[in-house]
Amino acid sequence: MQQVDVITLGAGGGAYPAAFRLARAGRQVLMVDPKGVMSGNCLAEGCVPSKAVREYAELSRQASRFGLGRSTEIDLAHIMTHKDRVQRTRYTQHAAELEKLSAKLSLIQGRARFQDANTVVVENDSGTKSYRAEHIIIATGADIFVPPIPGAEHCMTSRDLFALNPTMQSLPRRLIIIGGGYIGLETASILHALGSEVTLLEQQQQLLPGIDPDFVAGLTPLLDPTIRMITGAEVASIEPTTAAVLKVSFRTTEGDEVLAADAVLMAAGRHPVIPEGLEALGVQVERGRIMVDSTLRTSVPHIYACGDVNGRVPLFHAAVGQSLTAARNILGGDRAPMDYFDFNSVPTTIFTLPAAAYVGRTRAALQAMGREAIEAAYVFAEDSRAQIYDEPDGELRLFFEPGSLRLMGGWVLGIDAGQLIGQIGLAVSKGLTARDLAAFCDQHPMASEGISKAARRLF
Amino acid sequence: MQQVDVITLGAGGGAYPAAFRLARAGRQVLMVDPKGVMSGNCLAEGCVPSKAVREYAELSRQASRFGLGRSTEIDLAHIMTHKDRVQRTRYTQHAAELEKLSAKLSLIQGRARFQDANTVVVENDSGTKSYRAEHIIIATGADIFVPPIPGAEHCMTSRDLFALNPTMQSLPRRLIIIGGGYIGLETASILHALGSEVTLLEQQQQLLPGIDPDFVAGLTPLLDPTIRMITGAEVASIEPTTAAVLKVSFRTTEGDEVLAADAVLMAAGRHPVIPEGLEALGVQVERGRIMVDSTLRTSVPHIYACGDVNGRVPLFHAAVGQSLTAARNILGGDRAPMDYFDFNSVPTTIFTLPAAAYVGRTRAALQAMGREAIEAAYVFAEDSRAQIYDEPDGELRLFFEPGSLRLMGGWVLGIDAGQLIGQIGLAVSKGLTARDLAAFCDQHPMASEGISKAARRLF
Amino acid sequence: MQQVDVITLGAGGGAYPAAFRLARAGRQVLMVDPKGVMSGNCLAEGCVPSKAVREYAELSRQASRFGLGRSTEIDLAHIMTHKDRVQRTRYTQHAAELEKLSAKLSLIQGRARFQDANTVVVENDSGTKSYRAEHIIIATGADIFVPPIPGAEHCMTSRDLFALNPTMQSLPRRLIIIGGGYIGLETASILHALGSEVTLLEQQQQLLPGIDPDFVAGLTPLLDPTIRMITGAEVASIEPTTAAVLKVSFRTTEGDEVLAADAVLMAAGRHPVIPEGLEALGVQVERGRIMVDSTLRTSVPHIYACGDVNGRVPLFHAAVGQSLTAARNILGGDRAPMDYFDFNSVPTTIFTLPAAAYVGRTRAALQAMGREAIEAAYVFAEDSRAQIYDEPDGELRLFFEPGSLRLMGGWVLGIDAGQLIGQIGLAVSKGLTARDLAAFCDQHPMASEGISKAARRLF
Amino acid sequence: MQQVDVITLGAGGGAYPAAFRLARAGRQVLMVDPKGVMSGNCLAEGCVPSKAVREYAELSRQASRFGLGRSTEIDLAHIMTHKDRVQRTRYTQHAAELEKLSAKLSLIQGRARFQDANTVVVENDSGTKSYRAEHIIIATGADIFVPPIPGAEHCMTSRDLFALNPTMQSLPRRLIIIGGGYIGLETASILHALGSEVTLLEQQQQLLPGIDPDFVAGLTPLLDPTIRMITGAEVASIEPTTAAVLKVSFRTTEGDEVLAADAVLMAAGRHPVIPEGLEALGVQVERGRIMVDSTLRTSVPHIYACGDVNGRVPLFHAAVGQSLTAARNILGGDRAPMDYFDFNSVPTTIFTLPAAAYVGRTRAALQAMGREAIEAAYVFAEDSRAQIYDEPDGELRLFFEPGSLRLMGGWVLGIDAGQLIGQIGLAVSKGLTARDLAAFCDQHPMASEGISKAARRLF
């Protein structure tokens, strides 16, 4: 049985940053991943490829608005080629980085299960092999959740759109998306912009369930109104009919409805992938998530769980930050941690067209805690850059603690949301104040001016 | 003679923020401006209209790279119409804001000169009138500097491009730009991208004189190599020839050269506009700039000078920040200031294609002070978003103080420079550390990931 | 009727800092105070004189422990002379400062009542006079609360101890203190250390009602155990008997008890002094306190209320901070405030022997908000300075937000509490983190080492 | 040859914090120290025992000023007994802490020399033994420097005063101290306060050579004027005469002088103790100091040098901070450091009577860098606590960067200097601003009020 210092289950965002850091610290590290490549679902079928497609839609939208011409027909296959190229470039770069540290770090393809608290059994085409390690990082991520709806097997998933050489190479004329979480909503927005006729069905009464309702209420009117979005929709079945047409039956409070589509995308959510054998070790799991504290340790101190598998902030960049925290705590000695992850200041961007983003504690979270806030907003209707880009809708909103004026949270609805949330998020993370934001001279004419302008309203 | 509390000379970025703040504090304020509108040269012929044009070039460049089509001929008149619309929108908004505070605040068109330290004489079509005020803010901005070169009168200036209803309505086939400062370089980059054949002549040995040479050396190769840029070029004359062609004669160390062009843009710099009558008041002026300290007071305590006229950081957003500082110090009582402006943490973006930006103290400034720095860089070749946009060239670089790891400065060369500098600049402004930047989880996949990734290299 | 810009009702900590700031800003300011001197009860009969007496007790305690000798009999009259001298020195300094600004600022002795929202009527020996002002700051402070107990009129109050030329010039042999708030407890501790036999009666079940019970539980055992402290004691009456002896009857759950004493100190609390005529103006008052937000404005925007009268943080240094905030908001224009007071980060020291101090949100407050904390403590038993001073009891305890590690609160029980709380409080005020505290090298061998040592336990 | 993970040469402040941290991280650690106990010279003969003696002098001074009596004769032997007790208490506590980690950490008495870059040979009474380690921390401290003056062997050193069971058990009537560095000056001040007649001879023109001259100029008049302090004094010889009297001959610009004394203390400075065998390893040493960067690595990456031996900030608390930084960098992997020490923000207190303290960059350092500062001062003459303690001399002074208002440095001369420097130093360390300091409400009536009062002068 091979002995290493650290094993990571997975090689995605929750795993490889720790693996690299530990290898650089001289530890012998083994990553085990079913895909056999780094970056997990994010690069394989998630954020990176979806954004590669999204930016086509975004540019096309902007170019069209600027009268810069737009091919009457956008060729999805052309976009997919570009997307595949980005993915391949990154895989190549990752392989080169891995190679540089090969004396200390290796990645093997395979499915891992726990034999005991320090032993992992890996199965792959070459057979079954056991590895022993002093520390283990579980970073097995999450997988697509397919609800038990009759006919669900006829649906596509994000994998069919965003994996390398994806199944979908031409736009469906009519697309139904089941699920109005961020994946469903982003895909609705992107494919609609590229030319599909999109209907989105969300079971709950609110799009983007779990997110601040006022944020969602602010985002919704910014989206193209010709996307049909139905909330409170309970899907009953998906049935194939002749000639590649699917019929989706669903019920709302207004009655039953049946819609036909050329494709149905199942985007009903994701669930953590719990490695086999874990339950026997006494690692605490609740509602399908591995419990961790801000040190990323599980209830078994030498076992860590980073990224989607702990269900705290299921975003790639959160996983990366957690992974580095876990690495430092392994270096510090499990029972003497020396790094802590702040789950509260991770920015989230909904990459619709336009995008929207938030960070920290916004109105709903503060109200739930019984805390007051001084709100300061800036509407893009008065923003130079938004006017230049002809995107005057939306706003930027900041939530300050009364007295200290510490920034507790913020959101951006509309132009440059994904960029602006960085500056706002850093300020939340460091507890900067309205005064700090007001004192800084944001570059003119960029939308970030809205940050200082909002803050300056308090002075 | 009418008596008010405060007069601002000018109604641009250095003036109107103070005017509004003081009016809201109950002071009677008068703005006097030659244009009779707010926002000064920035909106009239500077940052806003130039960016309106630039974004066409940017989008066209991106759309073309994405194969999203580009009209073979970009119609400059169409772009100018859009630009004019943005300017008009802003003027309308400003007028509405002014109207709301009309009980306390007024703006008159006219040219102002000092009669004594509290009296200003305004001349305009209605005649000459005197106003007396307890406090005066000089925010007369800067004007285009035209060097005494024979034939300079045949040159266009940025005004011909960016004013409302600009003279230039079609692209010159061959354009010569005299001056490689940021206005010259941006215009070269923009008009070249729109289709002109551009030659830029800079007298000094370095483009962007006065800016960190290593920053400039990093930016230059990112620009389109088919823009001809000649440094160390002493222009001798501009001569019109037949049929709307101009001949520019200049000398470099390699000898004399004559180039023909359909238009010549004079972009040799700008100089502060010192109001008449100032010298008699004992207000200290050095090298054409009104001297101020970080409170924005001149050597005469009840007279302030904000924006380009003090020559410290000639940028609109710097002027705005200074103006607010001056307003607060007027409220605090000239001799008991209560706000201070940090000239050191204002971000500067060079809006070329691609753009580049810097903030704080970068390598050259630190070396000049004898201070060491820990540098941390991130190259966009490894950036997801840069790969998606196919803009892999350039880098982001941070300069930290050894020991404290406080961020002293940074630059961004390439993708999203104008956005990224906001987050970096706020961090410089607040003295955040590499650890603070490293702890924050920047949104994936956005170029701001480079900030945390660079910082994380230290840990 | 005389017209000024600003009137302050009171000339104490909530009033004079604003008055001076506004006068320096050029405003005409009038302070009206019943005492006719600055600094209010704090200097007249509160913090300053009580600390002047306390430090005698402290030094005597230390000197005795060090074997440096102690007069067998401490002469209270001698201490009172020193105390009076300190008070007089300060009054002289204040008068000189006032004199310097006399062109803008004046202080008149008198009792003020509101005639209307801008008019104040002042009564004093010279008669009655009205003053009109644009802005009014109510800073009338608080007064000793005497509960309706039969015989209460026979009790002394802190005024008899700490006013100039105080009534008490010799130590009572047996002293009963009614009230276990901070005034009662401090006085008990001080007079006991000087030689009195002290019994303290507190009505509630906890000493220092309203303060974190765990803090109180930590402080109590540090106090001299020969002070008799009885909680849950309902005082029924105070009766004089022959020969300057008072009998105090009280009831606890254990039954009725009667104690004899040479003096009884009434320390049952303080209540805000609401100026006459206020109720008619619509200024919101709740439970005897004038309601303000973090700008210090009352519900009538041009009327401010600072210090004890708003009942938020009844401490002199809090009043001073509030007063400056009010001044800046008056300068900014009542409806356009520009400063905000953070009620949450004001340090409180209980000046017993030894002292104890806290700041921010400690355990009980966090629990009440449903917030978790990472606690880090340092016991003075391991502290060099505490060992040198032979004061090894007590601890320093910090409360950090999980994840961000932001310091939310802290307490110090024992050596140098009043000094250490400054560093901890500044950190709370600015939201510094455990990492920030851990990175700083506190001076050895000072008790502040405990701050970094506690924080370093997390790393 | 025994193999461990880490060896520390020394067990003082530069060594044991790292040793404990590494042991808690699971590393096998060996400390080798000539004394065979922890804490080095600081506890053995430095800061702790000297402060134990100093506080007697301080209390005696205060008690006498308060008329609280003072034994006419202070018995030095009594003080020394107390001092010894403090030292013994700490040694006992250290032994107990060491015992708890004995599985991972051991301390052996002996003198260590390098055999090669990973091997250390230890000699002691048991013989000679070699140890091999992956990482080595040199923390051998500094030793008393005795200049080659004829008769220097007749002088006492701080060891004779402050070691356990010190030689000096009674006060010399006349004491001459050679050296006006902080040890010389503190000892002069302490022994003078206890009753000796003291003359101090400093070779340079300035007391406390190397420290900001304006700080020194501020401190000097606070010291008792009956201490005779002679600068520019070149000592020629120390000669014993009959009856335990020493004659010290020295020359100043005013000529030669001879003074007689009952004891002469040699306090001419300290020099780093470089371990034998180091030079052969290629570790860079300059002017007798081991060169390190802010990671504490020497030029040989697996060898670290912490504390006095690197000559950067020769203070115990600096050594402790450095030691922890080295420990984290060893955990991170020598070539991948993860912690950095800020040599610039370590507070220094001169423990004279009264004490004085500074931190960061004060006037002289800033001038040397060509940087301006906004200075804000507070004189203790206006301080309540200073008045209560009758110590009105001295000041607190803060140095802010113009514009950013970041606190760059500060000093305290007089009351509570050693405590106040903690709050100021933390602010310097974190780059807090004048506004941050001004916004905080320092506890009244404590001398820390001066911090916010000084800062508030800017607003």
Q: What are the pLDDT digits (tens) for D267-278?
A: 999 999 999 999
Residue-level pLDDT at D375:
98
Taking residues B406-435, what's their average pLDDT? 98
Number of domains in chain B: 3
pLDDT digits (tens, 9 = 90+) for B264-289: 999 999 999 999 999 999 999 999 99
Do the chains contact at D340 and B403, CB–CB below 8 Å? yes
Instruction: Please give the C-alpha separations between residue C37 and each of C20, C32, C41, D147, in angstroms, as whole numbers.
Output: 14, 9, 10, 61
What's the whole-model pTM score?
0.97
Taking residues B141-147, what's their average pLDDT? 97
Torsion sign (Cα): C17, C23, C27, C29 = positive
Residue appearing with tokens 């070269």? B188
Residue-range definition of the domain harbouring residue C238: 152-268
Q: What is the ipTM of this complex?
A: 0.97
pLDDT digits (tens, 9 = 90+) for D75-102: 899 999 999 999 999 999 999 999 999 9
pLDDT of D74 above 80 = no
pLDDT of A70 above 70 = no
Q: Kindly list the catalytic residues of C.
A: 444
Residue-level pLDDT at B72:
53
Question: Is C336 within a domain?
Answer: yes
Residues contacting residue C395 through CB under 8 Å, at least 6 positions apart: C218, C377, C378, C379, C380, C412, C413, C414
Residue-level pLDDT at C68:
77
Catalytic residue check, D444: yes
Q: Do D226 and D316 belong to one domain?
A: no
With H, G, I as helix, E, B as strand and everything else as coil, classify residue A12: coil
Task: Specify the CATH number for the domain of residue D439.
Answer: 3.30.390.30
Structure confidence at residue D68 as a pLDDT band (50, 70, 90): confident
Residue-level pLDDT at D1:
86
Q: Is D459 on the interface with A (CB under 8 A)?
A: no
pLDDT digits (tens, 9 = 90+) for B31-81: 999 999 999 999 999 999 999 999 999 998 898 888 876 555 678 999 999
In A, which residues are within 8 Å of C332 by CB distance?
459
pLDDT of C135 above 70 = yes
Residue D235: strand pairing partners? D250
Q: Do A132 and A276 belong to one domain?
A: yes
Quickly list H helices, D242-315: none
Q: Do A317 and A432 belong to one domain?
A: no
Judged on CB neighbours under 10 Å (0-12, 13-18, 19+), B5 is middle
Query: Is there a contact between A122 and A112 (Cβ–Cβ < 8 Å)?
Result: yes
pLDDT digits (tens, 9 = 90+) for C329-345: 999 998 999 999 999 99
Interface contacts B/C by beta carbons within 8 Å: 26
Query: Is there a contact between A302 and A334 (Cβ–Cβ < 8 Å)?
Result: yes
Q: Nearest-CA residue of chain D relative to A330?
A: D25
Q: Do C304 and C165 belong to one domain?
A: no
- Residues A101 and A106: their CA atoms lie apart, in Å, by 8
pLDDT of C74 above 80 = no
Q: Do D359 and D432 belong to one domain?
A: yes
In B, which residues are within 8 Å of A429 by CB distance?
436, 439-440
Q: Do A204 and A238 belong to one domain?
A: yes
Taking residues D151-178, what's their average pLDDT? 97
pLDDT of A459 above 90 = yes
pLDDT digits (tens, 9 = 90+) for B295-322: 999 999 999 999 999 999 999 999 999 9
In D, which residues are within 8 Å of C420 by CB distance?
419, 422
Q: Is B335 on the interface with D (CB under 8 A)?
A: no
Taking residues D368-394, what's their average pLDDT? 97
Reply yes or no: is the peptide bond before residue B147 cis, omega within 30 of 0: no
Structure tokens that stand for C88 in this block: 């007089």
Question: Is C349 within a domain?
Answer: no
For residue D403, the tally of other CB atoms under 10 A from its CB is 20
Question: Is A318 within a domain?
Answer: yes
Question: Is D360 within a domain?
Answer: yes
| Burial call C222-249: b when 16+ CB within 10 Å, e when fewer | bbeeebebbbebebbebeeeeeeebbbb
Do the chains contact at A426 and B420, CB–CB below 8 Å? no
Task: Specify the CATH number for the domain of residue A6.
Answer: 3.50.50.60
Chains in touch with A (≥3 Cβ pairs < 8 A): B, C, D
Q: Is D66 on the interface with B (CB under 8 A)?
A: no
Structure confidence at residue D70 as a pLDDT band (50, 70, 90): low
pLDDT of C71 above 80 = no
Instruction: Select from B212, B244, B268 the last residue of a domain.
Output: B268
Q: Do A139 and A27 belong to one domain?
A: yes
pLDDT of A23 above 70 = yes
Q: What is the mean pLDDT of chain D?
A: 96
Residue-level pLDDT at B74:
76
| Burial call C391-411: b when 16+ CB within 10 Å, e when fewer | beebbbbbbbbbbbbbbbbbb
Question: Is D374 within a domain?
Answer: yes
Give D98 to chain A, closest Cα distance, Å: 17
Q: Is C423 on the interface with D (CB under 8 A)?
A: yes
Q: Do C303 and C443 belong to one domain?
A: no
Do the chains contact at C24 and B435, CB–CB below 8 Å? no
pLDDT of C69 above 70 = no
Question: Is D223 within a domain?
Answer: yes
Give φ, ψ of A182 to 5 degrees.
-65, -35
Query: Is there a contact between D2 and D127 (Cβ–Cβ < 8 Å)?
Result: no
Taking residues B156-176, what's their average pLDDT? 97
Do the chains contact at D442 and C317, CB–CB below 8 Å? yes
Q: Do B13 and B136 belong to one domain?
A: yes
Instruction: Select from A233, A268, A303 the last residue of a domain.
Output: A268
Which run of H or E residues covers position D293?
A: none
- Substitution target in D444, D449, D451, D452 with the highest count of C β-carbons within 10 Å is D444
Instruction: Select from C226, C253, C268 the last residue of a domain.
Output: C268
Taking residues C249-261, what's their average pLDDT? 97
For residue D182, the tally of other CB atoms under 10 A from its CB is 21
Question: Is B349 within a domain?
Answer: no
pLDDT of A329 above 90 = yes
Quickly list H helices, B138-289: 158-162, 182-194, 213-219
Nearest to A25 among D24, D331, D435 (CB): D331
Tell me how long chain D is: 459
Question: Is C125 within a domain?
Answer: yes
pLDDT digits (tens, 9 = 90+) for C75-128: 899 999 999 999 999 999 999 999 999 999 999 999 999 999 999 999 999 999
pLDDT digits (tens, 9 = 90+) for D351-367: 999 999 999 999 999 99
pLDDT digits (tens, 9 = 90+) for A231-278: 999 999 999 997 789 999 999 999 999 999 999 999 999 999 999 999
Do the chains contact at A331 and D335, CB–CB below 8 Å? no
Structure confidence at residue D64 as a pLDDT band (50, 70, 90): confident
Q: Do B413 and B305 belong to one domain?
A: no
Residue-level pLDDT at C67:
81
Residue C229: strand pairing partners? C200
Q: Do A303 and A335 belong to one domain?
A: yes
- Substitution target in A328, A340, A405 with the highest count of C β-carbons within 10 Å is A340
Structure confidence at residue D242 as a pLDDT band (50, 70, 90): confident
In B, which residues are within 8 Å of C335 by CB distance?
24
Q: Do A197 and A233 belong to one domain?
A: yes
In D, which residues are within 8 Å of B430 by CB distance?
431
pLDDT digits (tens, 9 = 90+) for D304-329: 999 999 999 999 999 999 999 999 99
Give φ, ψ of D400 to 5 degrees.
-110, 145
